[in-house]
């Protein structure tokens, strides 16, 4: 019973993080689209151009990349070559799956450690347009790669204990196809 309680709590935490990242991601893409549209209208209709908007929108885009990549690990959205592992026996497939997550963790650890070093070194340098310290932007890297490590561990645990499936909230391309057929 106690074990089940712990597992429920863990699942709630994982699903909560999934949802938070999902909402954050939607907001980022929404801001990106609206930001570009507004800057186009301001530039072409009112002849007003903000130099800082380009920098801010680029940073929003960078954030979509790093946080989306972290959530992509949970939702199995990363592009990989699966044609070899698909043909492997179940046990070998499981070993490869664990190895893949271990390599993701190794890369993430390097990213976190060296991005923090980078922030310490050049973090106070102001950005060219908004004059915001670069460290503020570079901070996206360690934060997103901590989440990446968390999801990689979840993926390994998932092979041994029941963990709730992620809720994607959208249909895959082939699912749209099946819907059309029906």
Partner 1 sequence: MELSMMFFALIVLLVIGVPIGYAIGSSGILYMLMTNPTFLMTFPQRVWSGTESFIIIAMPLFMLTGELMNHSGLTRRLIDFSMLLVRPLGGGLGEVNVVASMIFGGISGSSVADTSALGSILIPDMVKKGYPKKFAAGITVASSTIGMIIPPSVPMLMYAMVSGASVGKLFLAGLIPGILVGVTQLILTYVISRKRGYHPVKEKIDTKSIIKITKDGSLAMLMPVLIIVTVSFGIATASESAGIAVLYAAILGFFVYKELKWKEVGNALKKTFMMSSSIMIIGGFTMIFTWILAVEQVPVAIASFLLNSHIPSWMVFLFLDILILVLGTFLDVTPCILLISPILLPVMQQFGMSELQFGAIIIVGLAIGLVTPPVGMCLNVASKICNMEIVEIFRGALPFIICNIVVLLLITFVPAFSMWLPSLMG
Which residues contact partner 1 by CB under 8 A? Answer: 22, 25-26, 28-30, 32-33, 36-37, 39-40, 43-44, 54, 57-58, 61-62, 64-69, 71-73, 75, 77-85, 96-97, 99-100, 103-104, 106-107, 110-111, 114-115, 117-118, 138, 141, 168-171, 173-174, 176-181
Six token digits for residue 66:
């790093």
Closest residue by Cα to residue 74 from 138, 137, 11: 11
Tell me how many degrees the CA angle 161-14-158 measures, rounded to the nearest 5.
25
Question: Between 84 and 160, whose beta carbon lies closer to partner 1?
Answer: 84
In the bound state with partner 1, the residue whose beta carbon lies nearer, of 1 and 182, is: 182
* 107/163 with CB nearer partner 1: 107
Q: Taking a C-beta distance cutoff of 8 angstroms, is the pair 34, 42 a contact?
A: no
Please report how close the Cβ of residue 39 comes to partner 1 at its closest, in angstroms.
8
- Give the list of residues 6+ apart from residue 149 with CB closer than 8 angstroms, or none: 104, 105, 108, 109, 112
Inter-residue contact 70 to 151 (CB < 8 Å): yes
Closest to partner 1 by CB, 9 or 106:
106
What's the min distance (Å) between Cβ of 23 and partner 1?
9
Residues 6 or more apart in contact with residue 62 via CB below 8 angstroms:
137, 140
Q: How far is the CB of 110 from partner 1 (least distance, A)?
A: 6
Q: Which is nearer to partner 1, 3 or 86 (CB)?
A: 86
């Amino acid at each position: 019973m106690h074990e089940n309680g712990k597992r429920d709590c863990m699942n709630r935490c994982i699903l909560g993080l999934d949802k938070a990242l999902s909402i954050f991601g939607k907001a980022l893409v929404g801001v990106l689209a609206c930001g570009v549209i507004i800057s186009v209208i301001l530039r072409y209709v009112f002849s007003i151009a903000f130099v800082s908007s380009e920098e801010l929108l680029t940073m929003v885009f960078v954030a979509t990349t790093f946080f989306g990549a972290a959530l992509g690990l949970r939702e199995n959205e990363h592009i990989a070559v699966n044609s070899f592992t698909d043909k492997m026996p179940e046990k070998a497939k499981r070993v490869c799956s664990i190895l893949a997550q271990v390599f993701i963790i190794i890369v993430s650890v390097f990213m976190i450690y060296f991005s923090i070093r980078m922030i310490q070194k050049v973090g106070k340098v102001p950005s060219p347009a908004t004059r915001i310290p670069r460290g503020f932007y570079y901070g996206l890297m360690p934060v997103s790669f901590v989440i990446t490590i968390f999801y990689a561990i979840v993926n390994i645990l998932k092979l041994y204990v029941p963990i709730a499936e992620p809720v994607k909230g959208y249909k895959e391309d082939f699912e749209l196809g099946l819907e059309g057929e029906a």
